[in-house]
A and B are shown apart, each in its own frame.
Chain A
Amino acid sequence: VVAVRRVYTLALSDPSFIELLAILVGVASGFTGFLYISTSLAYQAAVVASPIKPFDKIPGYVLGFHQPIVVPSISDVAAGAGAVYAKYVLRGELSIWMIYLLSLSISLYPLLSRFKSTMVPAMSITGLPLSRVVWGLLVPAIAVSAGYVSMFIALFTSVYLLYFNTPLTIEFAECMASLGVYMLAAPVVMYVAMVATGREYFGMVLVFLLSLAVDRANIPVHHLLLLSLLLLASSLLVLAILVWRRWVSL
């Protein structure tokens, strides 16, 4: 525990002004992007879910001669809008992931810069096993990623609840969970690609291409959740194998 604490102290203590700025700019860009995309998708969903669009031809009936037109209830309209919103969020997954990847990359700049300058000397100073040094970068990266995931879920869910005033559905919860798990898997995939190849930007390119492929594949929400879980589990397994073999080249 003491040794791991020493690694974290070396990795995170005395941030420079640029490093602090990078964290704040990253979080702010994630916030701005998520807020913009969540509200614009909700607005589009509300327009689409409206039972009659502007410029429609409204049919009529003669009073006392025909039955009145059935008017859907407000709660039905709101529930319909919520369902459309969940579909739109799933359809806009690439935009959401791109906002996330950009913000995460900005936020991880301090850690990545220390990855070269601090972590490598840390090994010789503290004499730590290689595996612990690996966790010194990966665990903070996952923690930052978890921050983005919670921000994403909080904003999108509050938009759902406050805009549409309708209870959360299983579909929407699955949508949030699948996109969130994918976001948690992304830094692990990035990290594995980075330490396996020794190229720090290879991971970002790989995750970008993976996000593009998943988006183009148009996978249903429950399959996406399974895929994200599989991605997270397999990348952690590969990392464990790499650490176990001491094959990681820092």
Chain B
Amino acid sequence: LKAWVFSAIVALSFIAFTTLGVYLVHIGYGMPSEFFALYTLDYSPLLAGISSQVGEPIVYEWLVTGLLKPGVTNITVSVWRYTPGDLSEQLKESTIQVDTGKGIVEAKGSSMSTVVYRDSSFLVIRVRIEIPPGFESRIGLIHVSVDAVSYGR
């Protein structure tokens, strides 16, 4: 091999590996294909008292962020409450609203699911839960789970 051929091989190997790296980053290498988070709603007696007096639901809303492989994504949000007797109680009267950035999806019940196409690597959704008044007499922590699964581009 001549010196310039050897130099060209070295230069080409750098270019090839760099291009491969950028391509892998583009298709989502290093990002998980599933995102799961568990949140606890701060169900304070004060808020519960106010909500029962005025007859309005207690609202919780927050942003869920994380890195997730871009592509077709199935987002599932569930709300339930642990009680001493019955381990898990579904809150069927609650309202779940998810803002995916491409529209708002709302459902009444203890769980909702939606499918969106994400072209970004950042998962940013806004979750809004409405707990109807009248839950203040029961004890137990209310939990919300957010599960997002990406199936890739």
Q: Which residues of A contact B (CB under 8 A)?
A: 8-9, 11-15, 20, 23-24, 27-28, 30-31, 34-36, 38-40, 42-43, 46-47, 49-52, 54-65, 68-69, 71-72, 74, 77-78, 81, 107, 140, 143-144, 147-148, 150-151, 154-155, 158-159, 162-165
Contact A61–B26 (Cβ < 8 Å):
no
Interface core residue of B9, B21, B47, B130 (most chain A CB under 10 Å): B21
* Chain B min CB distance to A7 (Å): 10
Contact B1–A52 (Cβ < 8 Å):
no
Contact B42–A9 (Cβ < 8 Å):
no
Beyond A61-B47, A63-B57, 5 additional pairs, beta carbon < 8 A? A13-B1, A42-B67, A46-B65, A77-B124, A78-B122
B63 on interface, CB distance cutoff 8 Å: yes
Contacts of A151 in B (CB 8 A): 14, 17-18, 21
Contact B122–A163 (Cβ < 8 Å):
yes
The contact of B14 among A43, A52, A147, by CB within 8 Å, is A147
Contact B29–A35 (Cβ < 8 Å):
yes
Contact A65–B50 (Cβ < 8 Å):
yes
B89 on interface, CB distance cutoff 8 Å: no
Given contacts A35-B24, A52-B39, A151-B14, contact A69 B29 (CB under 8 A): no
The contact of A12 among B7, B21, B42, by CB within 8 Å, is B7
Contact B38–A54 (Cβ < 8 Å):
yes
B87 on interface, CB distance cutoff 8 Å: no
Majority-rule SS of B interface residues: mixed
Q: Which residue of B lies closest to A154 (CB)?
A: B18
Complex Cα–Cα for A42 and B25 (A): 11
Q: B57-72 vs A: 1/0 string, CB under 8 Å?
A: 1111111111100000
Contacts of A30 in B (CB 8 A): 17
Q: Which residue of A lies closest to B44 (CB)?
A: A60
Contacts of B11 in A (CB 8 A): 147
Contacts of A43 in B (CB 8 A): 30-32, 67
The contact of A56 among B20, B24, B40, by CB within 8 Å, is B40
* Chain A min CB distance to B99 (Å): 9
Contact A46–B17 (Cβ < 8 Å):
no
Q: Which residue of B lies closest to A152 (CB)?
A: B18
Q: Which residue of B lies closest to A7 (CB)?
A: B3
* Chain B min CB distance to A14 (Å): 6
Q: What 4 A-B pairs come out closest when comparing CB atoms?
A: A39-B30, A54-B37, A12-B3, A147-B14
Q: Which residue of B lies closest to A11 (CB)?
A: B3
Complex Cα–Cα for A35 and B29 (A): 9
* Chain B min CB distance to A37 (Å): 10
Contact B6–A13 (Cβ < 8 Å):
yes
Q: What would 8 A/B residue contacts be, using CB atoms closer than 8 Å? A: A61-B47, A61-B59, A74-B122, A74-B124, A77-B122, A78-B124, A155-B18, A158-B21
Complex Cα–Cα for A30 and B27 (A): 20
Contacts of B122 in A (CB 8 A): 46, 74, 77-78, 81, 163-165
Q: Which residue of B lies closest to A35 (CB)?
A: B21
Complex Cα–Cα for A39 and B67 (A): 10
* Chain A min CB distance to B59 (Å): 5
Contacts of A77 in B (CB 8 A): 63, 65, 122, 124
Complex Cα–Cα for A57 and B56 (A): 21
Complex Cα–Cα for A72 and B14 (A): 40
Q: Which residue of A lies closest to B11 (CB)?
A: A147
* Chain A min CB distance to B62 (Å): 5
* Chain B min CB distance to A54 (Å): 4
Complex Cα–Cα for A8 and B122 (A): 48
Contact B20–A31 (Cβ < 8 Å):
yes
